[in-house]
């Protein structure tokens, strides 16, 4: 019989892992301890009503070795408690009375998603309705946002159970259903987010990202409390039924859509028209009357327009405000950059002779 040799290092490694497995006793939610990540709490400046952040803009550092060491000396329950206690969901922050500020991401660029997260946005909406991205692209952006501990909301391309199921399995904190025009449609949207018998969501929770691929044993009991369900009111018919939609059990937030609303009223791309603004105020009043803080009704979310900025929405009582689109921000910066260069070509510049502090600042930003 041939001799069998063992590598001492390999044997030691297997012994260590086996010992660790015995101490854990049951699967963990995650090996990452979120208590090691920087704080991402936001504050609103009460003086100028502008949105500011107290976020520490430093990429989180993670050491697998240190986490394994911590796990080897702590119980499973202690580890799970440590990672969940330091993170507040969007729903809990809304219940605490915070006004949240976010960005719509249409490019589906993981890099821009990560920049948005580190910049301090309270949430980022991955827009599958108007953006080119699908489920695969959304997953990459979710990975990027998770690295910055920034909540993601997925806006579906349409309100249907198939899209809802695929999006929810990715594990976003929120889901947005477009063009909801009645309480019946809102009830259907909620049912797409609930497992039977409360809804019709397909179940594969043991192998999807939403449950940490089955490692999160508490997913089924917690997901309803953590998922933010948003219904978009963006048509004349939707505004008429806004109060009924907001009253549907399970609807957490009403997202106003001023651009589609203007088109619905016959004023395409003119959200500042008097009649459009009147309809918007009517919808706002209906949603505010639903009293979300009392345990019923819905919060109000909106998208800022040139004539109706983010601070205007905040001052009117909006609970969630989105102030920009990533592609729009890049377009504006790109157009300004080209304009600046071409202006110099036509007018000339004496920067090299006399220096230009403003230009130096421009290129360093």
Separation between Cα atoms, residue 301 and residue 241, nearest integer Å: 16
18 burial class (0-12, 13-18, 19+ CB within 10 angstroms)? exposed
Separation between Cα atoms, residue 124 and residue 320, nearest integer Å: 11
Instruction: Calculate the dihedral angle through the C-alpha atoms of 90, 173, 175, 183, rounding to the nearest 10 degrees.
Output: -50
Query: Which residue matches tokens 């497995």?
Result: 21
Separation between Cα atoms, residue 244 and residue 290, nearest integer Å: 9
Instruction: Calculate the dihedral angle through the C-alpha atoms of 128, 132, 138, 144, rounding to the nearest 10 degrees.
Output: -120
Separation between Cα atoms, residue 128 and residue 104, nearest integer Å: 10
Phi, psi of 249 (to 5 degrees): -65, 130
The closest of 215, 189, 230, 279 to 91, measured between CA atoms, is 230
Q: Would you state the structure tokens that stand for residue 308, as one six-digit string?
A: 């109706």
Residue tagged active-site, from 130, 143, 273, 307: 130
For the question of residue 307 being annotated catalytic, the response is no
Separation between Cα atoms, residue 116 and residue 127, nearest integer Å: 14
Separation between Cα atoms, residue 231 and residue 241, nearest integer Å: 12
Which one-letter DSSP state was computed for residue 180? -
Q: Point out the residues that are catalytic.
A: 130
């Amino acid at each position: 019989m041939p001799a069998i040799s063992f590598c001492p290092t390999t044997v030691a490694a297997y012994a260590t892992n086996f010992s660790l497995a015995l101490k854990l006793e049951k699967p963990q939610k995650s090996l990452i301890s979120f208590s090691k990540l920087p704080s991402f709490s936001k504050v609103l400046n009460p003086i100028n009503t502008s949105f500011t952040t107290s976020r520490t803009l430093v990429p989180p550092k993670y050491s697998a070795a240190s986490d394994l060491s911590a796990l080897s000396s702590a119980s499973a329950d202690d580890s799970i408690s440590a990672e969940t206690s330091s993170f507040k969901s969007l729903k809990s922050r809304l219940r605490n009375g915070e006004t949240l500020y976010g960005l719509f991401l249409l490019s589906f660029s993981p890099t821009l998603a990560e920049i948005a997260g580190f910049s301090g946005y309270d949430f980022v909406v991955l827009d599958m309705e108007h953006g080119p991205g699908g489920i695969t692209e959304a997953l990459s952006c979710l990975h990027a946002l998770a690295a910055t501990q920034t909540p993601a909301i997925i806006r579906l391309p349409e309100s249907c159970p198939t899209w809802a199921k695929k999006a929810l399995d990715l594990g976003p904190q929120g889901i947005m259903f477009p063009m909801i025009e009645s309480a019946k449609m809102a009830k259907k949207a909620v049912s797409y987010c609930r497992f039977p018998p409360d809804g019709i969501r397909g179940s594969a929770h043991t192998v999807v990202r939403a449950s940490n691929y089955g490692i999160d044993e508490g997913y089924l009991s917690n997901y309803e409390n953590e998922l933010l369900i948003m219904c978009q009111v963006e048509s004349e018919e939707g505004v008429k039924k806004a109060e009924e939609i907001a009253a549907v059990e399970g609807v957490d937030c009403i997202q106003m859509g001023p651009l589609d609303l203007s088109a619905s009223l016959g004023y395409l791309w003119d959200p500042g028209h008097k009649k459009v603004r009147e309809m918007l105020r009517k919808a706002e009043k209906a949603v505010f009357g639903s009293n979300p803080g009392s345990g019923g009704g819905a919060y109000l979310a909106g998208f800022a327009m040139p004539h109706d900025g983010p601070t205007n929405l905040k001052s009117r009582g909006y609970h969630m405000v989105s102030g920009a689109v990533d592609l729009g921000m890049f377009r504006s910066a790109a157009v300004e950059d080209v304009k600046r260069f071409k202006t110099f070509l036509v007018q000339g510049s004496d920067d090299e002779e006399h220096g230009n502090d403003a230009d130096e600042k421009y290129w360093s930003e």
